[in-house]
Amino acid sequence: MAIARPVRALALAALFILIFCFYNIFQPSDGVHDSSSLKSKADFHGTFERDPNLDLTGEPAGNLVRTSDAYAPGKAGTARIPATLLALVRNEELAGMLQSMEDLERTWNHRFNYPWTFFNDVPFTAEFKRKTSAATKAECRYEVIPKEHWEKPSWINDDLFAESVKILEENDIQYAGMLSYHQMCRWNSGLFYKHPALADIQYYWRVEPKVHFFCDVDYDVFRYMQDNNKTYGFTISLYDAPQSIPSLWPETTKFLAEHPEYLHENRADGWLTDKARRPVHNEMANGYSTCHFWTNFEIADMNFWRSPVYEEYFNHLDRAGGFFYERWGDAPVHSIALGLFEDKNKIHWFRDIGYQHIPFFNCPNSPKCRGCEAGRLTDGEQWLRKEDCRPNWFKYAHMD
């Protein structure tokens, strides 16, 4: 049945109003804050502190479990807890995935043989399965993401998405026009842990293609998380591009207004709201510092994501549409939730795990590390040093 002309006119007017609102959120205020100002002195009021990774790094305090025959591959590995190495990867990223596997197997997993779980939005090829399974003695699992978890949700307006992409691209936001990137960010934020293959898994270590691990780790990191009551572990903390998330913090404050009881009494909200070190970032992100844990490396307890608090928070954000109308990433979403709803003492800096995801490093000063210069943050341009948000984490939380 045809839609009446007045109704069509109203719908079109509503669409243009929405586009206008998004444009006004994204555009720089009074022409002062644009992409160039984010690299200027106006947006960095801090100092380049001495990197704590220059200090001799040992293993973390607390109970540490070493390898034994009980970690043998297969059913003999009775010491392993419900945990997995987790990778979202495409068939064409096989070479990069094998590189990451080789590093992590050499430095850690050959001792503990935790399973690898690979996710893709299409079936894995026989070649991918053959070569990845040959790279480890541990079990490999190959899973396809359900369409309802991957496809753009029904409430996202295609026309508004297309217009929003144009605005993001005008602001030089990377991957703005790549639908699969928006889908990936949404899945990593609030859907991956709902996959049936992870139903009996509590902990995961996220591993991406083309990353490097430099240091031998001689203890079971999953047991460390469990035995020391840790929820989340990271190596690198950075600032995000504020033009990619202008409404994320306003939407978060809306959620908090409805649920102030969800705030943890020992939260790290100062880390999330600091405006002294990067004032332009804070202003362009409407009150959010943009500090986040770089989630291409994360070791975490999925019980936090599965909690009613996080589930309600994610659903609120999901309905707001920012995973598509902006470029909300899983890094700021996870980090904001952890900073507000979790005890900051349950978040751990794995300073002893040497790691690189181009262009940033976590490089400990340890005889167990090879191929990584102690204290090195980046091999890119010097202005990238301003992107390090660890100093604020150490200021508002801790260094453990």
**353-396 pLDDT tens trace:** 999 999 999 999 999 999 999 999 999 888 899 999 999 999 99
Average pLDDT, the chain: 92
Which residues are the active-site residues?
298
Share of the chain above pLDDT 70, in %: 90
Q: Could you tell me the CA-to-CA distances from 156 to 13, 321, 323, 331 in Å, in that order?
A: 17, 7, 10, 22
3 vs 246, which has greater pLDDT?
A: 246
CB 287 within 8 A of CB 247: no
Helices (H) and strands (E) in the chain, counts: 16, 12
Residue 27 is predicted with a pLDDT of 47
Q: Kindly state the tokens that stand for 17.
A: 């109003």
Contact 198, 336 (CB under 8 A): no
- pLDDT of residue 12 exceeding 60: no
Cα–Cα distance list, 78 to 114, 229, 400 (Å): 11, 21, 30
Phi, psi of 36 (to 5 degrees): -70, -35
Residue pLDDT, tens place only, 31-58: 456 555 565 577 898 888 899 999 999 9
Sequence-distant (6+) residues with CB within 8 A of 87 are 97, 100, 116, 117, 118, 119, 206, 207, 208, 209
pLDDT tens sequence across 315-330? 999 999 999 999 999 9
Helices 94-104 + 126-133 axis angle, to 10: 20
Residue pointed to by tokens 């203890």: 219
Percentage of residues of the chain with pLDDT beyond 90: 86
Position 38 scores a pLDDT of 61
Tens digits of residue pLDDT in 177-220: 999 999 999 999 999 999 999 999 999 999 999 999 999 999 99
- Which one, of 264, 52, 381, 325, lies nearest residue 272 by Cα? 264
CA 206 to CA 97: how far, in whole Å?
Answer: 12
Cα-flanking dihedrals φ and ψ of residue 357, to 5°?
A: -130, 115
Rg of the chain, C-alpha, whole Å: 22
Instruction: Return the sign of the alpha-carbon dihedral for residues 100, 102, 104, 109.
Output: positive
The average pLDDT across 110-138 equals 98
